[in-house]
Amino acid sequence: MKAFLPYGRTLFSFNFAQILFMYIRQLYTGCLSEAAYYIESEGEAAIIDPLRDIEVYIELAKERKARIKYIFETHFHADFVSGHLDLSNETGAPIVYGPGAKTNFAIHSSKDGELFTLGKVSIEVLHTPGHTIESSCFLLRDENNTPHAIFTGDTLFVGDVGRPDLSSGNMSSEELAGIMYETIQNKILPLGDDVIVYPAHGAGSSCGKNLGPNTFSTIGEEKRNNYALQPQTKAEFVKAVTEGLSEAPKYFAVNAAINMKGYDSLENVKQKGLTPLPVPEFKNWIAKDAIILDTRPADAFTQGFIPGSIFIGLEGRFAEWAGSLLPFNQPIILVTPEGMEEETVVRLSRVGFDTMQGYLQGGYEAWVNAGEKTDMIINIEADELAMDIPHDDHLVVVDVRKETEFADGHVKGATNIPLNDLTDVASIANFEDSQNLYVHCAGGYRSVIACSLIKRQGVHNLRNVMGGWGKIKEEKGIVVEKDVSVLN
């Protein structure tokens, strides 16, 4: 019997299965599209791919009166900082990587086929290179030694396989894709159709290009529906896996290096980042060229903010955008919603930030009450854009969606600058003082980030189009077009 029962809570969602002699729980973090796993048998537990904030794993083991025996890492993660070090220090459990992993801290570098016992079940290491050189899957065998589930990391997703352009060696993406072909043929396809697939990521992750909406599957389902598992030659597989890959987020290389080399404990990061800063101390950090990061909701930010602030709201894919847009070597000071200071620091730490110096005590209201200067962003509806386009010769529509989104439909004559590119001063330098910028994205979150970045470079004659492309395309008075050459 294989059963699943969802259970929800803030930040994490859970899927778990209770089978004789075995307990499995998927701990899914939506803002990173990341899945960690808790496996238990007879009071012994293993954690696979933990996040940096480890309390949830320790609490779960304590609640179930179990001892964490192993910490398994499927590979050197690039999209988040793992909790392996802090969890090992807290529990004494060894950190287990697949063959070929080299780190600056103590690990158990396993052999292909090596077995680890966990109560009445066992976990077998399957070396599955392709996403990275050391990538490995962990095959869970039940009390009868029958394969029950496979924890695939970034090797196999629902509907996809891991992108092969994040090598931990010096290979090209085509070379790694060729290795992944052998992995799929020799390690994945021979598994039984009823084996459950538990990947490290779901839809929204940048670790693949075509991830499905579900967070688990079966080998049989993937054989039927996953393009990468269909009968094909190696050349056909390499082409299918490598074409159409978007550029990897800039912070991926930073996170992979952190996971290999080690990092400061989260408690130390929190102690510094949760320092309350009165307005005078906050201003002192501004004078030291600290990044002001404002994580309040977008509508609150646009109504008023500290000049020079960068907006990245907690309500969106906060950690990913922070990793993509913020420097890792510059102090960060925070303006957060009341009571969300710790969540902000923790979510930043998940993608490798440890330079947070504190938060504005009393929040944005304290800044206003101190009589300090403020800035704002003008919000407009899509119908106002429709009315302004025919009558303003200096109007420029700035679309900050990805190139493929832009190609699939945009305002005629719009300028496309993907949000990732707005950290490049040169991308903003071509704007002229006489221009009136109307900035939009798909729904309104990215455009507010973009407005904050553009304003930070001294360009203030702009408006944020609320509702973004979703509202703009409904306006009959706005001429739209597609770029077929990009879509093809």
| pLDDT-based confidence at residue 188 (cuts at 50, 70, 90) | very high
CA 329/CA 310 separation, integer angstroms: 16
| Residue 127 reports pLDDT greater than 50 | yes
| Fold of the CATH domain 378-487 | Oxidized Rhodanese; domain 1 (3.40.250)
Identical fold between 5-254 and 264-369: no
The residue behind tokens 């609640």 is 63
Q: What average pLDDT does the segment 220-224 reach?
A: 97
Mean pLDDT of the chain: 93
Nearest to 161 by CA among 184, 178, 142, 182: 184
Q: How confident is the model at residue 21 (pLDDT cuts 50, 70, 90)?
A: confident
The 8-class DSSP code of residue 51 comes to B
* Number of alpha helices (DSSP H) and beta strands (DSSP E) in the chain: 18, 28
How far apart are the C-alpha atoms of 159 and 32, rounded to whole Å? 18
Give residue 467's pLDDT.
97
> Of the given ranges (166-175, 339-348, 456-465), which has the lowest mean pLDDT?
166-175
What is the mean predicted confidence (pLDDT) over 88-98?
Answer: 98
> Is the confidence at residue 11, as pLDDT, over 70?
no
Q: Which pLDDT score is estimated for 341?
A: 98
Least confident of 23-27, 248-252, 337-341, 438-442: 248-252
Question: Mean pLDDT throughout 30-54?
Answer: 96
Contact by Cβ (8 Å): 162, 208: yes
Q: Which helix (H) or strand (E) segment is 108 a member of?
A: strand 108-109
Residue 300 reports pLDDT greater than 90: yes
Give CA–CA dist 153/422, Å, rounded: 32
* Integer Cα distance of 317 and 15 in angstroms: 21
Q: Could you name the CATH architecture of 5-254?
A: 4-Layer Sandwich (3.60)
SS3 of 342-388: HHHHHHHHCCCCCCEEEEECCHHHHHHHCCCCCECCEEECHHHHHHH
Q: Which fold has domain 264-369?
A: Oxidized Rhodanese; domain 1 (3.40.250)
User: What is the rounded average pLDDT of the residues 169-194?
Assistant: 94
Phi, psi angle pair for 395, to nearest 5°: -80, 130
Residue 252 has pLDDT above 90, yes or no: yes
Tokens in use for 239? Answer: 């082409």
pLDDT, average across residues 136-143: 97
Q: What residue type is 308 in one-letter code? A: G
Q: Does position 114 have pLDDT exceeding 80, yes or no?
A: yes
- Residue 12 DSSP SS3: strand
Q: Other CB atoms closer than 10 Å to residue 407's CB: what's the count?
A: 18
What is the pLDDT, as a whole number, of residue 397?
A: 97
Q: Span 182-209, mean pLDDT?
A: 95
Diameter of the chain measured on Cα atoms: 75
% the chain with pLDDT above 90: 86
Give the per-residue pLDDT at 2: 37
For residue 3, name the pLDDT band (cuts at 50, 70, 90): very low
Q: What is the mean pLDDT of residues 395-418?
A: 96
> How confident is the model at residue 141, as a pLDDT?
97
What mean pLDDT is predicted for residues 250-256? Answer: 93
Scored b (16 or more CB within 10 A) or e, 258-267 reads bbbeebeebe
**10: confidence class by pLDDT, cuts 50, 70, 90:** very low
| pLDDT above 70: residue 392 | yes
pLDDT-derived band of residue 58, with 50, 70 and 90 as boundaries?
Answer: very high
Strand bridging mode 378-380 / 332-335: unpaired
Binning pLDDT at 50, 70 and 90, where does residue 265 land?
very high
Domain boundaries, the chain: 5-254, 264-369, 378-487
d(CA 477, CA 484) in angstroms, rounded, equals 22
Q: Give the model's pLDDT for residue 168.
A: 64
DSSP label of 305 = B
